[in-house]
Amino acid sequence: MLRITNINYMALRYRPGRTIVPATKDRFTNNLPDLSQLLCVPISTHELDEMTSNMGTIFSNTLEAVAPIKLKKVREKRTAPWYNSNTHSLKKKTRSLERKWRKTNLEVFRIAWKNSMSSYRQALKAARAEHIHKLIENNQNNPRFLFSTVARLTNNQTPPDLNIPSQFNSNDFMNFFTDKIDNIRNTIANVDSTAYNTLASFIAPKDKLQCFTAIGQEELNKLITASKPTTCLLDPVPTKLLKELLPVAEEPLLNIINSSLSLGHVPKPFKLAVIKPLIKKPQLDPSELANYRPISNLPFMSKILEKVVSAQLCSFLQKNYLYEEFQSGFRPHHSTETALVKITNDLLLASDQGCVSLLVLLDLSAAFDTIDHDILIDRLQNYTGIQGQALRWFRSYLSDRYHIVHLNGESSQLSPVKYGVPQGSVLGPLLFSIYMLPLGNIIRKYGISFHCYADDTQLYISTRPDETSELSKLTECVKNVKDWMTNNFLLLNSDKTEILLIGPKDSTPNLVDYNLQLDGCTVTSSTVKNLGVILDSNLSFENHISHVTKTAFFHLRNIAKLLNMIPVSDAEKLVHAFMTSRLDYCNALLAGCPAYSIIKLQVVQNAAARVLTRSRKYDHITP
């Protein structure tokens, strides 16, 4: 039964905010001053910085004039978001009729009260369904938002990453993130600085990338239009409004981007980031700072500039075959699935030949945040052949960067970025892959198979059960990999490095007799989780299928609770977001699994179909 009370009369507080309506675009355009000063081609980096800063000032001042920030009253506990003026008037009418009936005890007022109560509940239900429909429709490609929305509607606990404890302020996070990286750098052993060059040879590419190519208005339009409308605290205008203002803002934006490419300089306003603390896993304790990772939120136009550079750099790497052959991270036509299919196929072939295999999953501590900028520039110059203005652009991109943490309306002190590439940036993952290029040559020297996905590295070797001495190669390889990482300011986390012995079923009982140790890691588990897939010693995927089934049924039960609130079309979107995505993830690995394993996933699909069609539990589902 729906509750009548929807308003909580609590203490009021004030929150700053802008009111942006469809008419804001026209008012903004009419109040925008002359932009001719932003169309002059800058001849120096200082002029480019000044032009970019002026553009931000002009846009932010114009927005302040047409949609100023105002303090709005906000209730500590808000009314239900679907509670509108219509339902409010119906509720007042219902309460009035109730009071008349209780005062006069006349049947006519009782009937009128009951009818009004029914109308109010129907209107409230319709308003709630419409509100939820809009949320799902506008965020159908955002599983994180949908999950938190369903959790609230079904009275489940809100994911902890959405509720950072009030005991922490922005400076607490800023100090923690900075100290963490400094401590990691300090714990890395000091060895010969030239060792990382002697451990791996490289062949300089014949073609060089001397400069980036300027883009045209059509390409800029495509990039901005296709980008997500996410807004950073540093953006002078909201991204959604900027897209509407493209006809008047296009020329100065294009001038700044092309000037950045030609001068080999990244404007200073593009090198400031706002850090968002994001909890690593939903089940972790949100009151522990160590359970958060820093995600950089960059200005929108900074990401557009990075996309321009990334597209040209990827094209150059692809054309000259400079990618690591067994690196699947952030490459066209590569994914976690292609990486896992390659590894699993090799291990299954070895198992069919009666061999046992050893799989090692290396774990790095804050890999993206400890990258040394000088070494990265050396990789770009000597391994990928980037020179001239292009190399100068990357030097500018990595230098003089700053970041802040913004939390609960307060910002931390400004902190310089001394190491690493920004997590959440467009170029960050690609630069990390380039940074790791020499690693493949080190591993190949030992005849060991490997595959990488960003900072996840998988090593594996197969041998006959009576030739286990071959496995010592892996021990020596891991030691040299760790030495190389130490020289490159990457910390191999031995405590979280996982090891799995794999072999035929008849050999499995004897596998534990090997008692292998790799840099202090011993074989202690019969399963490991690799890129979101649970692997066992027989590669049967039974544990993975059970985990997927359990998670899917959890989400299906929550969706079933909402069926009375939402139409079937919205329920289908939730099923695809929460269940189908999990059933489809890396399902190529399940080829060849026995029918009794696959049928568990079919049962999930059947249950989802029954929920959507409101069929009974034992109704035949084929129709």
Last residue of a domain, one of 517, 536, 555: 536
Place of tokens 């219902």: 94
| SS (HEC) of 415-452 | EECCCCCCCCCCCHHHHHHHHCHHHHHHHHCCCCEEEE
Q: What is the DSSP string of 351-365?
A: HHTT-EEEEEEE-EE
Give the contacts of 321 (CB within 8 A, at least 6 positions apart). none
Q: How confident is the model at residue 192 (pLDDT cuts 50, 70, 90)?
A: very low
Q: Are 244 and 146 in contact (CB under 8 A)?
A: no
Dist CA 622 CA 521 (whole Å): 50
Per the domain annotation, does 349 fall within a domain?
Answer: yes
517 and 548 co-located in one domain: no
* Token couple for 270: 């593009």
Query: What local confidence, expressed as pLDDT, does residue 3 receive?
Result: 33
* Token couple for 618: 């034992």
**β-pair partners for 617:** none
**β-pair partners for 276:** 295
Per-residue CA distances from 473 to 7, 405, 464, 479 (Å): 69, 45, 14, 10
Q: Of the segments 56-65, 125-134, 420-429, which one has the largest average pLDDT value? A: 56-65
Query: Model confidence over 355-384: pLDDT tens digits?
Result: 888 899 998 888 888 999 999 999 999 889
462 and 601 co-located in one domain: no
pLDDT exceeds 70 at position 520: no
Please compute the mean of the pLDDT values over residues 240-255 and round it to a whole number: 91
**What is the model's pTM?**
0.83
The CA-based angle 141-144-148, given to 5 degrees, is 120
Query: What local confidence, expressed as pLDDT, does residue 193 receive?
Result: 41
Report the b/e string of 428-451 with b at 16+ CB within 10 A.
Answer: bbbbbbbbbbbbbebbeebebbbb
Per the domain annotation, does 410 fall within a domain?
Answer: yes
Dist CA 480 CA 444 (whole Å): 12
Query: Model confidence over 534-587: pLDDT tens digits?
Result: 999 888 999 999 999 999 999 898 888 888 888 888 888 888 888 888 899 999
Residue type, 337: E
531 and 582 co-located in one domain: no
Helix (H, G, I), strand (E, B) or coil at 285: coil
408 and 510 co-located in one domain: yes
176 and 322 co-located in one domain: yes
Give the contacts of 607 (CB within 8 A, at least 6 positions apart). 553, 556
359 and 503 co-located in one domain: yes
Per the domain annotation, does 249 fall within a domain?
Answer: no
Query: For residue 52, how far is the Cα from the chain centroid?
Result: 28
Per the domain annotation, does 234 fall within a domain?
Answer: no
Closest CA to 260 of 229, 315, 316, 215: 215
Please compute the mean of the pLDDT values over residues 296-321 and round it to a whole number: 93
Q: Are 371 and 420 in contact (CB under 8 A)?
A: yes
Query: What local confidence, expressed as pLDDT, does residue 191 receive?
Result: 46
Query: What local confidence, expressed as pLDDT, does residue 443 receive?
Result: 92
Please compute the mean of the pLDDT values over residues 147-158 and round it to a whole number: 69
Please compute the mean of the pLDDT values over residues 340-361 and round it to a whole number: 91
Please compute the mean of the pLDDT values over residues 344-354 and round it to a whole number: 91
pLDDT exceeds 90 at position 491: no
Dist CA 417 CA 422 (whole Å): 9
Provide Rg for the chain, Cα atoms.
29
381 and 288 co-located in one domain: yes
Query: Model confidence over 91-143: pLDDT tens digits?
Result: 999 999 999 999 998 999 899 999 999 999 998 888 888 888 888 887 777 77
Q: What percent of the chain has pLDDT over 90?
A: 39
203 and 341 co-located in one domain: yes
Query: What local confidence, expressed as pLDDT, does residue 196 receive?
Result: 43
Query: What local confidence, expressed as pLDDT, does residue 202 receive?
Result: 59
pLDDT exceeds 80 at position 504: no
Q: What percent of the chain has pLDDT over 70?
A: 89
- What does the mean pLDDT of the chain come to? 84
Query: What local confidence, expressed as pLDDT, does residue 62 receive?
Result: 92
485 and 608 co-located in one domain: no
What pairing do the DSSP bridges indicate for beta strands 364-365 and 292-297? unpaired
Query: What local confidence, expressed as pLDDT, does residue 163 receive?
Result: 63
Q: Which of 74-78, 391-395, 617-621 has the lowest mean pLDDT?
A: 74-78
Query: The domain containing residue 560 runs over which residues?
Result: 542-613
405 and 487 co-located in one domain: yes
Dist CA 469 CA 559 (whole Å): 53
Half-sphere exposure of 552 (CA within 13 A, CB side): 26
548 and 517 co-located in one domain: no
Query: What local confidence, expressed as pLDDT, does residue 160 receive?
Result: 42
Last residue of a domain, one of 506, 536, 566: 536
Q: Are 97 and 113 in contact (CB under 8 A)?
A: yes
Please compute the mean of the pLDDT values over residues 33-57 and round it to a whole number: 89
Last residue of a domain, one of 478, 502, 536: 536
Query: Model confidence over 252-274: pLDDT tens digits?
Result: 999 999 999 999 999 999 999 99
Per the domain annotation, does 12 fall within a domain?
Answer: no
Q: How confident is the model at residue 43 (pLDDT cuts 50, 70, 90)?
A: confident
Per the domain annotation, does 66 fall within a domain?
Answer: no
- 515 versus 297: which is more confidently predicted? 297
Q: Of the segments 36-40, 83-87, 148-152, 396-400, which one has the largest average pLDDT value? A: 396-400
Number of domains making up the chain = 3
pLDDT exceeds 50 at position 195: no
Per the domain annotation, does 470 fall within a domain?
Answer: yes
Per the domain annotation, does 240 fall within a domain?
Answer: no
Residue 333 falls in which region: left (phi positive, over 0), alpha (psi -120 to 50) or beta: left
384 and 352 co-located in one domain: yes
